[in-house]
Amino acid sequence: MGSKSEGSWGARLRTERARTFVGREDALEAGLALLEHPTRRLLHVHGPAGMGKSTVGRALAARARESGHAVRLVDALDARGSLASLSDALAGPWDLLILDSLGALGALESWLRESFLPSLPDHARVVTLGRRPLSPPWVNDRGWRALATQHRLEPLSEAACRTYLARQEVDEALHEQIVEASAGWPLALALLAQSTAGLEELRESQVAGVLTRLADALVREAPTPDHARALHAAALVQRLTAPLLAAMLEREDVTEIFDWLAGRAFAMPSPRGLRLHAVLADALHGHLGSRAPERMVALRDRAIDAYAERLAPIGARDTSGPARAGELIYDALYTLRDSPVVQRFGVGSHPSAYPDALRPSDRPPLLDAIERHEGAEARAIAERWLDDARSEVIVYRGQDGAPQAFALFGSFRREEATTRSEADPVLADLLRALDERAPLRRGERLLLCRWWLSLEHGQRSDQALGQLIALLSQRLAFSPGVTVGAAVHHEPERWAKRPEITHELLSRSALGGVELGVFGHDWRVEPPSLWFRRFLRGLAGDVTAPPVHPAAVAILDREAFDAAARKALKRLRQPERLKRSPLAQAPLVVRQGARPGTLEAGERLRATLERAMDALAGPEGHRELLRRTYVEEAAKQLAVADDLGMAFSTYRRHLATATERLLERLWAWELGGTLD
């Protein structure tokens, strides 16, 4: 290995990174000074997009760690407007918190200012990064004026630009053109240093046109067409991972392409994948839409399919399902952010409200809103819902912490829903409709969003209401144990025409002169991942295959299910007969994406039965007993017993026990559990 040298790889990496950190030394020093300041506790660094705020944050984090400080570096974009996600991201222990993209918090900024920061210990220091100066609620408060200070990032000086280009080993003959084209804008400077092709075009352009032309140059310079498609893929999505890129490019191995993309100056790593700098992502997105609209559609559709595939493993018994689904739903909707419908959800913009739990002080304004939009009878019903421990209320709060909108959910088994419906005619109408279609079976659950309202606008669109619609998609489809998810809508005829409402109108009611319709989905008929793909394609304007008709799905009670399963076991090697089994039309199989009654459904049923057998492996020998009896070629039961060294009566007794265990597992899967 040769002679030893001092230091480490990490030290060398830090040295190399520091070489290209130029022109922002004053901002770095301001952050370091904050760590020792006797009275200041918060520094806000601000400047337009591409001015180097994130670079300052990373450099400050590295220097503070070298000095022994515990540092937490958080990008507010990763919170996606969720208080729970933001709270988790900000959790300690740390001495220095660096919070990037402050403006992306939207209404959560008030929670940060009024609740989180005041709770910190005195030794803690916080640096925030954002495009704008601190807003009036900060600067007009005497306390925050004493604790906080601000630093504005200006364009780099000509000397700093030339120093940067020299350290990047850019041909000195090009320095003047690059400095002129960049106008001291650090992002443009970095991009031009990395991509000098097309400079003659850029030389006369103003800063406003630099990124558009750079996007064109970057695509032209990409080593291969797949590298160019990777640039466009990254511009389409919120965060790009290697598996997502592989799906979008339809390639098995994208390691080299992903690593190439990660090495670009405009690609920023995060725990959830690569994110392009926002202004360049917009430029590449526009480039894709104008120059290659067919490619945009293809990449978008593959991303949608990839998100739906990732949703498929989230089972009905998965307690983490709503949180995981929420992230995927947000990411998928972000891919469709140009859609006017999706824009109503607030995706891609800073949320005007954030979700929170119900507080005692919320109850009067929520009830007042229900009475205002639905009448006194609805208020009386809502009182009883709020008193029930099985109800859950999610409140969306604005910057001042006051409720702007809310959703009130109730989750019931069949007998519980019947009891509640005695005092709620809307729920009673829904249960009657379900009984006529496909009744809830023992162990199955209805999740009903009984009210979802903007306090001011009812169910007329505003951004808080758009966030509620996204919440409904997440909760109704992916809450644990949900068999039927439904929500009550005002003016059902109006909602039936909206593209984001892909659920079926299950029942109608009238209460206090208000027409109500319950839109919902039976997840036994169409599983959430298949519905979600159809939902997203609809938002994108695609005409997709219709959902499975409820009449085509067999909703069997336990006795009929067990009888059908026993018969299917005896037909396991007869695909034509197996496809006609009631189980080939049951949620057990339909949930896997097979159309009822097809050969594919019969094959899925056969594979499911064998998988259930394999799950019984153990010292009891039940797996082997079942496979020898039903899967392996055609031995008579007497011969199987002989081969296993059992008396026929003993074999029959063990077979009956093994079959009962198998039926229990299959029934659990039928109700939304897993075989594992």
Q: Is the peptide bond before 93 cis (omega within 30 degrees of 0)?
A: yes
CA dihedral 65, 67, 68, 74 (to 10 degrees): -30
Please compute the mean of the pLDDT values over residues 116-142 and round it to a whole number.
94
pLDDT category at 548 given cuts 50, 70, 90 is low
Q: What is the mean pLDDT of the chain?
A: 86
Residue at 275 is within a domain:
yes
What residue type is assigned to position 346 of the chain? G
Specify the pLDDT at position 547.
60
**Is residue 675 included in any domain, yes or no?**
no
* Same-domain check for residues 389 and 532: yes
Residue 129 sits at the vertex; the CA angle it makes with 351 and 82, to the nearest 5 degrees, is 30
Same domain for 206 and 320? no
Final residue before a domain boundary, out of 551, 570, 592: 551
CA distances from 465 to 41, 103, 368, 425, 615 (A): 36, 21, 17, 25, 45
* Pair of tokens at residue 289: 């839409």
Tens of pLDDT, residue by residue over 277-310, are: 877 888 888 888 888 889 999 999 999 989 988 8
Final residue in a domain of this structure, among 551, 566, 590:
551
In a domain? residue 3: no
Q: Do residues 366 and 373 lie in contact, with contact meaning Cβ atoms separated by under 8 Å?
A: no
Q: Which of 292, 322, 342 is the last residue of a domain?
A: 342
Same domain, 528 and 410: yes
Give the CATH number, domain containing residue 468.
Answer: 3.40.630.30
Task: HSE, CB side, 13 Å, CA atoms: give it for residue 69.
Answer: 24
Residues 458 and 539 occupy one common structural domain: yes
Write out the two tokens for 275: 């994110």
Average pLDDT over residues 647-665: 93
pLDDT tens, 494-529?
888 876 677 889 999 999 889 999 999 998 888 888
3-state secondary structure 564-610: HHHHHHHCCCCHHHHCCCHHHHCHHHHCCCCCCCCHHHHHHHHHHHH
Query: Mind listing the pLDDT tens digit for each residue in 455-491?
Result: 999 988 666 667 777 778 888 888 888 899 999 999 9
Sheet hosting strand 391-397, strand order edge to edge: 354-357, 391-397, 403-413, 445-454, 484-490, 514-522, 504-511
Q: Do 503 and 408 share a structural domain?
A: yes
Structure tokens at 280: 């360049």
- Do 242 and 310 lie in a common domain? yes
Q: Is 617 exposed, middle or buried (0-12, 13-18, 19+ CB in 10 A)?
A: exposed
Q: Are residues 566 and 652 in the same domain?
A: yes
Residue 645 has pLDDT above 90, yes or no: no
Q: Are residues 661 and 627 in the same domain?
A: yes
Q: What is the pLDDT of residues 197-224, one digit of tens each?
A: 444 444 444 444 566 777 887 788 889 9
Question: What is the tens place of the pLDDT at every residue in 223-277?
Answer: 999 999 999 999 999 999 999 999 999 999 999 999 999 988 778 888 789 988 8
Distance CA 467, CA 451 (A): 14
Amino acid letter at 154? E
Tokens representing 205?
């352009």
The pLDDT of 575-595, averaged and rounded, is 85
pLDDT for residue 57: 95
Q: Are residues 17 and 116 in the same domain?
A: yes
Number of compact structural domains in the chain: 5
Tell me whether strands 125-130 and 42-46 are parallel, antiparallel or unpaired. parallel
Domain containing 225: what range?
A: 220-342
